[in-house]
Structure 1
Amino acid sequence: MSGYRNKFSGGEYRKRKAEESTKIDNLLEKIPKISSFMTSSRTVELLAEFDPFLSEHLKLYAHPGSGNTSYLSKTIYEETILLIQNKVLRQISSEVQSTKYFGVFVDSTPDIAHIDQLTIIIRYVRVNGERFSEFLPNIGHKAKYIEDALLKSLENNGLDIMNCRGNLMIMQVICQAFRHESKQLI
């Protein structure tokens, strides 16, 4: 038992947490690069930067004379983005689960196409601060609809509402109604 305690005590634990934090930060720093490459239709070349097998394959066969990689369909492009999104969301969920307690920030915001979306941000104690969770299509401005969407999002990400220790809503009326309803739940 003392060997176990020594293995994970003090400095070693902080060192491991710092290494994990660095890995996650490095991953998050790559996301703008991923977006940039995908928007310029160079998705395969981007993936090859992180996959030695694909990189070698492209060197040998990709563009023997033309200098261009082949086109990826819209479906493959969107599936790739969805896979990356799911991986990042799973990482955030596991971080929140490891800290146990969290707070939520919910807002309704139109995107660039003026489509109203529900924004959910989960706040939890971590050296690097909060993480964005997800955009959801807005289902209305009634507190019950927003509450249902939030609870479903937390459930889908394996988070227990009973560990939520705070919430913040930008829309004042919904904020008051949500606090009343969420206190009844807890």
Structure 2
Amino acid sequence: MDLKNSTHHIDRVVQPPQEVAKNRLSLTTTIEAIRYLANQGMTFRGDDESHDFSNRGNFIELVKAFARMNEEVEKVVLQNAPLNAQYISHKIQKEILNIYANKVRKMIRDEIGEDEKFCILVDEALDDSKKEQMTIIIRFVSCDGHIQERFFDIVSVHDTNSSTLKSDICKVFSKHSLLVSNMHSQGYDGASNMRGEWSGLQALFLNDCPYAYYIHCFAYRFQLALNVAAKEVGLVWRFFSMLNNIVNFVGASAKRHSKLKLTRQVEIEDLLAAGRLGIGKGANQIRCLQRPRTTRWGSHFSSIKSLIDLFGATKTLLKDINHNGPTSQFRGEAECIKVSMLSFDFVFALNLLDKTMRFTDFLCQELQRKSLWTL
């Protein structure tokens, strides 16, 4: 008797073909929803995923959307699916994501090849639960001669000692058959555990591979140099301190933020009516004040440009708060900021740094171009 073709075969007795088809359709719906969300970099979970909640998060709502578009899908997902085969649990989502991640890493590994040279970029960061994580990015020259940069893995680490980081990186290499001897460059930040000459991560790798030269990101070094140099000039230091105060004061309230945009809109309409502004795609957009960040010198230039664009609207807003603010302390703070913003030193520094930083920003952007990197 041919059991394989028998209708009484154990697989067909336990699970009829109709059930197999339903389970596959349900699982396929889950896989497609996960692939879409992962590709778009969107969150999966919602604040409340209970059945009676109106918005159960991106994943559940996307499955619902698939069900609304296809009656066959609707019959096999969520409440219509068997309790043991809904394929929507967080564990199932993570397992499918892990399968996708492994497939992507395999494609990157195949793209690198067996004996091709590569370099690594490593950085540390804290996740939302305050756990240390290490990101590993691989750069290499593709078969067509172009430099490729691929995000390869993210690894949780129990500490950030250089020996621990090296051990975890080597485990990733070993898992994907990448040889340390083929590593010809290392790129890290300026932390001592990374760039240390004797016991830093770069030194440990150099002991194993003498060609794995350490490169501190030129753009980042340039930004740090500008940052340190700026702090040595009193006028510049006071300017950025005042710029922070303006951005923080205006941006601290959604009401003030909205009023600033409305004031700017009226200002643009008046300038357009007077013929003092050009028109075109992307022109005269209503932007917000941007906060400069310490280690990102490019953000300082963006902050300066945003204040220049919104200088008149900001002055009008501060003047209105000075006259109509709810408390005397609030009105006094607005007046103090307005007086400082209209002072000669601040306006002079604003225009001087706008002209100067156009050159430094251009150089910073050029230093980040992929074509300038060599292996």
> What's the TM-score bracket when you normalise by the shorter of the two chains?
0.5 to 0.7
Is residue 181 from structure 1 mapped to residue 204 from structure 2 by the alignment?
yes
Query: Which one-letter code corresponds to 1:74 in the other structure?
Result: H
Query: Which one-letter code corresponds to 2:74 in the other structure?
Result: H
Question: Which residue of 2 is the match for residue 32 of structure 1?
Answer: 39
Contact 2:115 2:182 (8 Å CA) reproduced: no
Is residue 166 from structure 1 mapped to residue 185 from structure 2 by the alignment?
yes
% identical aligned pairs: 17
Query: Which one-letter code corresponds to 1:166 in the other structure?
Result: S
Alignment root-mean-square deviation, CA: 3.4
Number of aligned positions between the proteins: 148
SS in 2 for 1:113: coil
Q: Relative contact order: is structure 1 or structure 2 higher (C-alpha 8 Å, sep ≥ 6)? A: 1
- Segments of 4+ in structure 1 off by > 6 A? 66-69
Is residue 41 from structure 1 mapped to residue 41 from structure 2 by the alignment?
no
**Ranges in structure 1 where 5+ consecutive residues have no aligned partner:** 1-27, 49-57
SS in 2 for 1:118: strand
Query: Which one-letter code corresponds to 1:81 in the other structure?
Result: L
* CA positional deviation for 1:32: 2.3
Superposed CA deviations along residues 105-159 of structure 1, whole A, max 9, x for unmatched, are: 1111112333210111111113362000111002312111111111111111110
- Give the distance between the partners of 1:67 and 1:179, measured in 2 at CA: 51
Contact 1:62 1:69 (8 Å CA) reproduced: no
- Give the distance between the partners of 2:184 and 2:80, measured in 1 at CA: 50
- Give the distance between the partners of 1:103 and 1:43, measured in 2 at CA: 41
Is residue 122 from structure 1 mapped to residue 138 from structure 2 by the alignment?
yes
Is residue 89 from structure 1 mapped to residue 108 from structure 2 by the alignment?
no
Contact 1:100 1:163 (8 Å CA) reproduced: yes
- Give the distance between the partners of 2:134 and 2:44, measured in 1 at CA: 25
- Give the distance between the partners of 1:77 and 1:43, measured in 2 at CA: 14
- Give the distance between the partners of 1:67 and 1:142, measured in 2 at CA: 46
Question: Which residue of 1 is the match for residue 346 of structure 2?
Answer: none
* Closer, same or farther: CA 75–172 of 1 in aligned 2, 3 Å: closer
* Closer, same or farther: CA 69–157 of 1 in aligned 2, 3 Å: farther
* CA positional deviation for 1:75: 2.0
SS in 2 for 1:105: strand
Superposed CA deviations along residues 162-181 of structure 1, whole A, max 9, x for unmatched, are: 00000122143122222222
* Closer, same or farther: CA 37–99 of 1 in aligned 2, 3 Å: farther
* Closer, same or farther: CA 63–31 of 1 in aligned 2, 3 Å: closer
SS in 1 for 2:59: coil
- Give the distance between the partners of 1:36 and 1:140, measured in 2 at CA: 29
Deviates more, 1:109-118 or 1:87-96: 109-118
* Closer, same or farther: CA 36–99 of 1 in aligned 2, 3 Å: farther
> TM-score with structure 2 length normalisation?
0.34
- Structure number with the higher strand fraction is 1
- Give the distance between the partners of 1:164 and 1:29, measured in 2 at CA: 34
Deviates more, 1:118-127 or 1:168-177: 168-177
* Closer, same or farther: CA 145–32 of 1 in aligned 2, 3 Å: same
- Give the distance between the partners of 2:78 and 2:129, measured in 1 at CA: 35
Is residue 108 from structure 1 mapped to residue 121 from structure 2 by the alignment?
no
Is residue 63 from structure 1 mapped to residue 58 from structure 2 by the alignment?
no
Contact 1:109 1:118 (8 Å CA) reproduced: yes
Contact 1:102 1:166 (8 Å CA) reproduced: yes
Superposed CA deviations along residues 50-92 of structure 1, whole A, max 9, x for unmatched, are: xxxxxxxx9463225x998754222221111111111111111
Decide which of 93, 103, 106 is 1:77's aligned counterpart: 93
Query: Which one-letter code corresponds to 2:168 in the other structure?
Result: A
**Ranges in structure 2 where 5+ consecutive residues have no aligned partner:** 1-34, 46-57, 210-375
* Closer, same or farther: CA 68–44 of 1 in aligned 2, 3 Å: farther
Question: Which residue of 2 is the match for residue 148 of structure 1?
Answer: 167
Deviates more, 1:142-151 or 1:126-135: 126-135
